[in-house]
With several copies, the nearest count.
Chain A
């Protein structure tokens, strides 16, 4: 049944996360960006929302409310409305936990899920991006080769969030087969022999408060049971669909934030003895923002609902991400334009959002899950 209404439970979660974004993220975002720092206090507070642990079955000490890609999309929109890099930081452990829930063997779940059931923030992460300009996920350069009963992993990874504090990384590599079908994921402890995590996080455009690291794997040997999903392996297409949907949801939240800030500003800002919002050029820009925020949201929700049904969401997720990446950038760009010179100053958040928007939407994307 085609329906656009969140459940009451989802509306409650939306509200809770929105309040958190308002009280804990909005004010932190600027100083964290300027100082390039991520307060542990924030991670801990976000952890207490139970966004990661909630999805873990009670059997493993989790909240047991179960995985819901739709609820997840709603959560990510609200968090991103607060601040995208802080949202990505808070959800980094999910980059490890959710694939584990979806593809892990019972053995793997039993071993690793309890790590995330505690009351303290526990970092784990996902390593997928690589240092090439024409990075293409269906053609990874990090290789997983059979070595005895286990595997040997070699390659370079980039922008691995919280890698320096993560207990484990989920390393995505190219297995025996070509293309997305050949994607494999391996659970690698941070101190694994042959894996080198850069001492300093990478400096990038935007995302300045989220430490993301380069990781080099030089014939890192892992046992067969480190292969996520065991002999079955993972469903690479589904993993990508999840990542793309999540990334589009973050873009949606960012875009909505820009729109909701630009609207009142345009009504207050007077030029030529009139609020600029009374000029069609500005008013129509705002109308476009409203149109695109709605349109993006529907595409994100559709992809999420297909994931929830366990259906093939590759098409829907690619549509949602392709659309969102284009519109989020345009929207952040126009938002800055509405603020004019003030938008270019590090005073209002629009210039920060402009940077985050570009950084978010160029990665095919692994900012959250």
Chain B
């Protein structure tokens, strides 16, 4: 059926998430101004809160699916603050990769660790097939060499899923994922990036110098290089199917926070939307409030749709990119427009909205820029190969 209501149990979980989220806001400014520090994995006020994902428990037929709820929980958490969160669980992007492509043994061994995902290199942005980091098999060990940048949660993660090529000539087909734990010799976290926003969030730069890992650290365990040149890379791409909507949800949670702050601040000064009246009954500000809210809601529904599909075990590659493209765009414009509505008072650091404006901007960049997502969408709907539409 087509339905958008939440069960009582769904509501309870989300209410708890929002309650937690509000606590994070107390710390948000501090960690924005103290970029060199990390917010604690768990805040003092947190200990009495259950992990929302645990709260979800098993879903009965009236409840929303795990996938849908996890997006709402994610957005609910970043609605408080992105970089300060109560608990990150095994929040690393590498964990998604492990779940998607890891062997049962690998999942057991590393499932509980926080794993970052290291893809981007100084030379290549979204061009994942241009990976220069190499992995050479030497007896029963892989030897990794190369540099990685923009590694999310890279400083605090216990380990990382690294993209490296075992055969440059093979292009995409030669790219494999390897699990490297922090203590491994030859694996160095060079620095934490200084950013526009999400400053407390750790975005690291890595270097691998003759870094040796056991042969069985190859994610999925398959060392073969598919002829078609698709297979290996597809395996890697698959992990994006879950992360693209999640990344959009992260941004939209922040955008929603910005809109809520804007709405409440203007309401306190007598500017409120009348949902029944028509356009000619609206002030410029009321019209903008409606448009921003529509944009955020549309983008969030795209996110829920993409994850709902995966819950129905239907393919969602197209929808995942739609949600990321739309979410990234709205994360930009919604926060921009909210600040416009609040005028010069909105840019004051007495409030968090200027931080949310900065934090949000990453959404359309990482995990594939809006341009990359549109390229994926266009190829999908046109039935074009990367060669036909580049």
Judge whether A124 is part of the interface by a CB distance below 8 angstroms.
no
Judge whether A158 is part of the interface by a CB distance below 8 angstroms.
yes
B294 adjacent to A319 (CB under 8 Å) = yes
A129 adjacent to B344 (CB under 8 Å) = yes
A341 adjacent to B378 (CB under 8 Å) = no
Write the chain A residue with the least CB distance to B196: A351
One of B7, B63, B193, B291 near A322 (C-beta < 8 A): B291
Judge whether B62 is part of the interface by a CB distance below 8 angstroms.
yes
The answer for the CA separation of A291 and B321 in the assembled complex, in Å, is 9
Residues 181-201 of chain B: 1 if any A CB is under 8 Å from the residue's CB, otherwise 0?
000000000000111110000
The answer for the CA separation of A5 and B125 in the assembled complex, in Å, is 37
Contacts of A301 in B (CB 8 A): 2, 4
A305 adjacent to B343 (CB under 8 Å) = no
The answer for the CA separation of A120 and B184 in the assembled complex, in Å, is 61
A319 adjacent to B297 (CB under 8 Å) = yes
Nearest-neighbour CB distance to chain A for B121, whole angstroms, equals 11
Answer whether A340 and B369 are a contact pair too, CB < 8 Å, given A129-B344, A133-B345, A299-B297: yes
* Residues of chain A at interface, number, CB under 8 A: 96
The answer for the CA separation of A267 and B342 in the assembled complex, in Å, is 37
Judge whether B64 is part of the interface by a CB distance below 8 angstroms.
yes
The answer for the CA separation of A318 and B294 in the assembled complex, in Å, is 9
| 8 A Cβ contacts from B272-293 to A | 274-281, 285, 290-291, 293
Judge whether A304 is part of the interface by a CB distance below 8 angstroms.
yes
A343 adjacent to B365 (CB under 8 Å) = yes
Judge whether B298 is part of the interface by a CB distance below 8 angstroms.
yes
Nearest-neighbour CB distance to chain A for B342, whole angstroms, equals 5
Nearest-neighbour CB distance to chain A for B104, whole angstroms, equals 31
One of B130, B285, B342, B354 near A273 (C-beta < 8 A): B130
Judge whether A1 is part of the interface by a CB distance below 8 angstroms.
yes
The answer for the CA separation of A323 and B312 in the assembled complex, in Å, is 28
Judge whether A6 is part of the interface by a CB distance below 8 angstroms.
yes
Nearest-neighbour CB distance to chain B for A266, whole angstroms, equals 8
Contacts of B339 in A (CB 8 A): 205, 358, 362
Nearest-neighbour CB distance to chain A for B372, whole angstroms, equals 9
One of A274, A288, A306, A341 near B365 (C-beta < 8 A): A341
Nearest-neighbour CB distance to chain B for A257, whole angstroms, equals 15
The answer for the CA separation of A203 and B365 in the assembled complex, in Å, is 27
Judge whether A119 is part of the interface by a CB distance below 8 angstroms.
no
Judge whether B149 is part of the interface by a CB distance below 8 angstroms.
yes
A341 adjacent to B276 (CB under 8 Å) = no
The answer for the CA separation of A133 and B195 in the assembled complex, in Å, is 28
B276 adjacent to A5 (CB under 8 Å) = no
Judge whether B37 is part of the interface by a CB distance below 8 angstroms.
no
Residue with the greatest number of chain A CB neighbours at <10 A, chosen from B193, B265, B294: B294
Residues 4-27 of chain B: 1 if any A CB is under 8 Å from the residue's CB, otherwise 0?
111100100000000000000000
Question: Which of A90-98, A101-109, A329-337 lies at the interface?
Answer: A329-337
One of A204, A291, A337 near B326 (C-beta < 8 A): A291
The answer for the CA separation of A115 and B369 in the assembled complex, in Å, is 53
Judge whether B167 is part of the interface by a CB distance below 8 angstroms.
no
Residues 289-306 of chain B: 1 if any A CB is under 8 Å from the residue's CB, otherwise 0?
011011101110110110
One of B193, B318, B326, B377 near A295 (C-beta < 8 A): B326
Judge whether B388 is part of the interface by a CB distance below 8 angstroms.
yes
A288 adjacent to B374 (CB under 8 Å) = yes
Residue with the greatest number of chain B CB neighbours at <10 A, chosen from A278, A284, A323, A344: A344
Write the chain A residue with the least CB distance to B265: A133
Write the chain B residue with the least CB distance to A293: B322
Judge whether A286 is part of the interface by a CB distance below 8 angstroms.
yes
Write the chain A residue with the least CB distance to B123: A270
The answer for the CA separation of A294 and B270 in the assembled complex, in Å, is 35
Contacts of A345 in B (CB 8 A): 193-196
A329 adjacent to B336 (CB under 8 Å) = yes
Judge whether B215 is part of the interface by a CB distance below 8 angstroms.
no
The answer for the CA separation of A133 and B268 in the assembled complex, in Å, is 9
Judge whether A210 is part of the interface by a CB distance below 8 angstroms.
no
A302 adjacent to B280 (CB under 8 Å) = no
One of A296, A325, A363 near B344 (C-beta < 8 A): A363
Question: Which of A17-25, A38-46, A135-143, A146-154 lies at the interface?
Answer: A135-143
Judge whether A242 is part of the interface by a CB distance below 8 angstroms.
no
Write the chain A residue with the least CB distance to B303: A298
One of B265, B298, B366 near A341 (C-beta < 8 A): B366
Contacts of B308 in A (CB 8 A): 2-4
One of B6, B319, B343 near A135 (C-beta < 8 A): B343
B2 adjacent to A205 (CB under 8 Å) = no
Judge whether A134 is part of the interface by a CB distance below 8 angstroms.
yes
The answer for the CA separation of A98 and B290 in the assembled complex, in Å, is 27
Judge whether B211 is part of the interface by a CB distance below 8 angstroms.
no
The answer for the CA separation of A364 and B276 in the assembled complex, in Å, is 11
Residues 163-179 of chain A: 1 if any B CB is under 8 Å from the residue's CB, otherwise 0?
00000000000000001
Judge whether A180 is part of the interface by a CB distance below 8 angstroms.
yes
A180 adjacent to B322 (CB under 8 Å) = no
Judge whether A355 is part of the interface by a CB distance below 8 angstroms.
yes
Nearest-neighbour CB distance to chain B for A143, whole angstroms, equals 18
B384 adjacent to A294 (CB under 8 Å) = no
One of B275, B278, B298, B354 near A323 (C-beta < 8 A): B298
Judge whether A59 is part of the interface by a CB distance below 8 angstroms.
no
B374 adjacent to A204 (CB under 8 Å) = no
Contacts of A6 in B (CB 8 A): 1-2
One of A272, A298, A319 near B390 (C-beta < 8 A): A272
The answer for the CA separation of A318 and B372 in the assembled complex, in Å, is 32
Judge whether B371 is part of the interface by a CB distance below 8 angstroms.
yes
A-B contacts, 11 listed (Cβ < 8 Å): A3-B65, A135-B345, A139-B281, A203-B348, A279-B390, A287-B378, A295-B299, A323-B291, A342-B125, A364-B343, A364-B344
B residues adjacent to A (C-beta < 8 A): 1-7, 10, 61-65, 68, 120, 123-127, 129-130, 149-150, 193-197, 265-266, 268-271, 274-281, 285, 290-291, 293-295, 297-299, 301-302, 304-305, 308-309, 312, 318-319, 322, 325-326, 332, 336, 339-350, 354, 357-358, 361-362, 364-366, 369-371, 374-375, 377-378, 381-382, 384, 388-390
Nearest 8 pairs between A and B by C-beta? A298-B301, A205-B354, A203-B349, A283-B378, A351-B196, A295-B298, A180-B276, A314-B275
Q: Given A2-B308, A204-B354, 5 more contacts at CB 8 Å?
A: A1-B64, A131-B345, A287-B375, A294-B305, A301-B2
